[in-house]
Amino acid sequence: MINRILPTVLLALTLCSCANNDRVQDNTQNTVEDLELPSEISESWLKDNLNILLERAIDNPTEENVRKYFYAQKVMLDLAKKRAEAVNESQ
């Protein structure tokens, strides 16, 4: 259920932040180093960093932060699909 609602919420937050761009403060840049996506995202990297990307996309919904989160989420869903297909094929 949350996977269906979350994209809409993030889109709404992004649109709101664009309208109020002058008032948005970037708190994450002052406290945490900028998280770059690796060239190949592993399951362990996703476990460690997906929630960080989500929090940044919600707290500071810049186009870059939201794009990074959605890309990482897509990679996670692709990995889960491959794993599910492998399990189904082995049965």
Domain that holds residue 74: 2-18+40-90
Provide the token pair at 67: 């794009």
- 14 within domain boundaries: yes
- 35 within domain boundaries: no
- 27 within domain boundaries: no
- 26 within domain boundaries: no
Give the dihedral sign, CA 79/84/89/91: positive
Tell me: the pLDDT tens digits for 15-39? 444 444 444 444 444 334 567 888 8
- 24 within domain boundaries: no
Tell me: the pLDDT tens digits for 39-91? 888 899 999 999 999 999 999 999 999 999 999 999 999 999 999 999 999 88
What is the SS3 assignment for 22-46? CCCCCHHHHHCCCCCCCCCCCHHHH
Q: How many domains does the chain have?
A: 1
Closest by Cα among 72, 69, 66 to 46: 72
- 79 within domain boundaries: yes
